[in-house]
Chains A and B, each alone.
Chain A
Amino acid sequence: MIAPAIILYTSFNLYPILSSLNMVTRKWQGMRTTYIGLGNFARMLNDKIFWQSLGHNFLFMGIQIPIMIMLALVLAAILNQVRRGRGTLRTIFFLPCVTSLVAYSVLFRMLFQTNGLLNNLLMKLELIQSPIGWLNDPGWARATIMIALTWRWTGYNMVFFIVGMQNISNEIFEAAEVDGANKRQQFFRITMPLLRPVILFSLVTSISGTMQLLDEPNVLTWEGGPANATMTAALYIYRQAFVLNSDFGYAAALSYIVVIITAGFAFTQMKLLGRRD
C-alpha cells in the first residue's frame, strides 16, 4: 500500500535532493558543466544582492508576522465573545487565504498603482497630499508586500486561535471572574499563556512561509522591484536559475542557505515546544 508513495517520493523528492549534492559542485555554462568544488559557496560570500534579499525576508518576518499575529489574536478574542454572526464573520475573515497568490497579487498590484484606487481614496479623504509610490518607492514597496501578506494570512491564523481558545475550559475564566480579574487581565494572563503552542505553530508556519516568499514580490511589486527593494532569497534563486544566468549549480548552492535557516527555525520550534511538557 505504501509502495506507490515511496516510488513517487524517491523519484521526485529524494532523488532530486540527492542529485543537488552533485549540482552544487558544478558551474553551468549552457548545457556543459565543470567541477568547481566549493566554488559556488565561495562566490555566494561576495553576492551582496543575495544577502540583501535574505535580509528582506527577515525584515518582512520581523515586522509583518508580529503585526499579523497580534491582529489575528485580537480578532479571535472578539469572535470568541460574539454570539450572533460568528460563523459568517469567520468565513469572511478566512476568505482572503483561499485565493491564489497570483490572483491576489494582481488585484493588489492594480489597487496600489500610483494613479490607482487606494491613492485616489486617500487623497479624497485628504489623508495624503500627493500620491504615494506604493510600487515605485523602495520603502513603500516593502510596506505594500507586508500589507498584502497581512490581508491574506490574518484570517488563516485567526481560525487556529479561535479553536485554541475554545479548547480552554470556561471554568478557568469563571474562576478568574470570581477573583475579580477583568477581561484584559484574563486575556493576557490566561488566554495568551494557554494558547502558547498554537501561537508557536502559527509563528513557525509564518516564518517558514516568509522564508520562501516568492509569488508576491514577483507579481505584486514586479520581479522584486523597485531596484531589488523587495527581492527575496527564493525569488533571487529562481531568477539566478531561470531568468538571468541559468546557473543551476549556483542557484542550488544558494538554496542550501534557505534550507539551513528553515531547519534552524524548525529545530528551535521543537526545542520550545518540547520544553512545555
Chain B
Amino acid sequence: MTVARRFTFSRLLVWIFLAAIVIVSLFPFFWMLIGTTLNPNAVVAGVVIPGKEFPLNWNKAIKNYNLPVYFLNSLKIATLTVLLGVLVNSLAAFGFEKYRSNAREKVFSVFMLSLMMPQIALVIPLFKLMSSLRLLNTHAAIILPALMSPFIIFFMRQNFQMFPTEIMEAARIDGAREIYIFFRIVVPSMKASFVSAGIYMFLSQWNSYLWPLMTILSEEKKTLPIAISSMMRAYTIEYGAVMIIVGISIVPVLVLYLAMQKEFVSGLLGSVKG
C-alpha cells in the first residue's frame, strides 16, 4: 500500500499534537533534574534554568535525609524479593505447566482468583498476622508476602508453554532428575522470560508504598518511597535535596526499563494474550 506523503495541514496538526505529548511526558523528569541544582525557594517558584546548588543539595540529601540508608534498604529488599521470588514462582509455574493434574489445576485457579483481591483488603489482616509473628518493623515483613506472586506464576506458565516437552523426555531417558532438568536445561534456555519476570518483580517491590508504610516504623529501616513521603510531611522541606532523592528512586527503574524494554513490554503483553 502506497500512501502519498504530502505535507498537509492535518499532518502538521498531528505532529504538533505528538510534540505536545512528548513535552508533557518528559517535562516532570526534566524539571526534576533542574530541581536538583536549585535552592528550595527556586524549586517551588518553578525556575527552569539550572542553578549551582547541586553539591549542597547532594550533601543535604546524604547527611540530613540519610539517602544512602534508604537507598540500600530499598535495594536490599527489592533484590532479595527478585532472587527468591523468581525462584519460587518459576518453579511453581513449571510444576503447573509440565506436571499437570486436576488438583494442580484447582490450586492454579485459586491463585488466579487471588489476582483480583484488592490490596487494601489483604493488608489489614496481614498486618495483624505480622504483628503476631513479631515481624513488624522488619524487612522480612516486606519481603515475605511479596515472594509468591500469582501474576508472575501466570506469566511464567505462559512462557513455559513454549518449552518443548520432548527435550525433558530426552533428558529423563539420559537419567536426569527433574530438578536438574529445571535448573540446567530450562533456566538457561529461557533466560529472557526469567529476566522479564525479575524486572517486573523488582519494579513492583522497588515502587511499593502502602505495605511498607504500614509495617516500617523506624527511620533506619525505611525504604525510598516511604522516606520520600515522610520528607514531604516536614515543616521545612529541602526541595532540592528531595529532588535528588526522587531522582535516585527513579534512576534504577529508568535504567532497567530502557535496557530491558523489549522483554519488559512483551512480558506485560503476555498477560493480555492469555
How far apart are the CA atoms of A31 and B220 in the complex, in Å?
A: 26
Closest 8 CB pairs of A and B: A117-B46, A1-B95, A100-B207, A5-B92, A16-B125, A8-B148, A255-B121, A102-B225
Known A4-B91, A100-B209, A102-B209: A259·B225 in contact at CB below 8 Å: no
B107 touches A101 (CB 8 A): no
Q: Interface of B with A (CB < 8 Å)? A: 1, 14, 17-18, 21-22, 24-26, 28-29, 31-32, 35, 43-46, 48, 88-89, 91-92, 94-96, 99, 104, 107, 111, 114, 116-122, 124-129, 144-145, 147-148, 153, 178, 182, 203, 206-207, 209-210, 214, 224-226, 228-229, 232, 239, 242, 246, 249-250, 253-254, 257-258, 261, 265, 268-269, 272
B145 to chain A: closest CB distance in Å?
4
A207 to chain B: closest CB distance in Å?
12
A159 touches B268 (CB 8 A): yes
A108 touches B28 (CB 8 A): yes
A145 to chain B: closest CB distance in Å?
15
* Residue ID in chain B nearest A167 by CB atoms: B273
A65 to chain B: closest CB distance in Å?
17
A3-27 with Cβ < 8 A to chain B: 4-6, 8-9, 11-13, 15-17, 19-20, 23
Q: Cβ of A214 < 8 Å from any Cβ of B?
A: yes
B118 touches A4 (CB 8 A): no
A172-231 with Cβ < 8 A to chain B: 173-174, 177, 198, 201, 208, 211-212, 214-215, 218-219
A107 touches B31 (CB 8 A): yes
Question: Which residue from B14, B44, B95, B118 sits with its C-beta under 8 Å from A110?
Answer: B44
A88 to chain B: closest CB distance in Å?
9
* Residue ID in chain B nearest A158 by CB atoms: B21
B209 touches A215 (CB 8 A): yes
A115 touches B120 (CB 8 A): no
B145 touches A107 (CB 8 A): no
How far apart are the CA atoms of A163 and B120 in the complex, in Å?
A: 32
Interface hit among A37-45, A91-99, A136-144: A91-99
Interface size on A, residues (CB 8 A): 80
B125 touches A98 (CB 8 A): no
Known A5-B89, A212-B119, A262-B116: A19·B46 in contact at CB below 8 Å: no
Enumerate chain B residues within 8 angstroms of A177, measured Cβ to Cβ: 1
Enumerate chain B residues within 8 angstroms of A201, measured Cβ to Cβ: 272
Known A102-B229, A151-B25, A174-B1: A9·B148 in contact at CB below 8 Å: yes
Q: Cβ of A109 < 8 Å from any Cβ of B?
A: yes
State the majority secondary structure of interface residues on A. helix
Question: Which residue from A12, A93, A242, A255 sits with its C-beta under 8 Å from B21?
Answer: A93
Question: Which residue from B24, B44, B92, B258 sits with its C-beta under 8 Å from A151?
Answer: B24
How far apart are the CA atoms of A11 and B128 in the complex, in Å?
A: 12
B128 touches A113 (CB 8 A): no
B246 touches A107 (CB 8 A): yes
Question: Which residue from B107, B153, B228 sits with its C-beta under 8 Å from A103?
Answer: B228
Question: Which residue from A20, A93, A107, A259 sits with its C-beta under 8 Å from B118?
Answer: A259
A213-259 with Cβ < 8 A to chain B: 214-215, 218-219, 233-234, 237-238, 241-242, 248, 251-252, 255-256, 258-259
Enumerate chain B residues within 8 angstroms of A272, measured Cβ to Cβ: none
Q: Cβ of A51 < 8 Å from any Cβ of B?
A: no
A17 touches B242 (CB 8 A): no
How far apart are the CA atoms of A2 and B214 in the complex, in Å?
A: 30
Q: Cβ of A120 < 8 Å from any Cβ of B?
A: yes
**26 A-B pairs whose Cβ atoms sit less than 8 Å apart in the complex:** A1-B91, A5-B89, A5-B92, A12-B144, A12-B145, A12-B148, A19-B129, A23-B125, A92-B25, A96-B25, A105-B229, A111-B46, A116-B45, A117-B45, A173-B1, A211-B118, A214-B209, A234-B118, A241-B124, A241-B127, A251-B124, A255-B118, A255-B121, A256-B121, A259-B117, A259-B121
Taking A16-B128, A96-B28, A234-B119 as given, write out 9 further A-B residue pairs in contact, using a Cβ cutoff of 8 Å, ordered by the A residue number: A1-B95, A2-B104, A8-B144, A16-B126, A95-B29, A100-B250, A110-B35, A251-B124, A258-B120
Enumerate chain A residues within 8 angstroms of B29, measured Cβ to Cβ: 95
Q: Cβ of A266 < 8 Å from any Cβ of B?
A: yes
Question: Which residue from A4, A95, A116 sits with its C-beta under 8 Å from B88?
Answer: A4
Q: Cβ of A121 < 8 Å from any Cβ of B?
A: yes
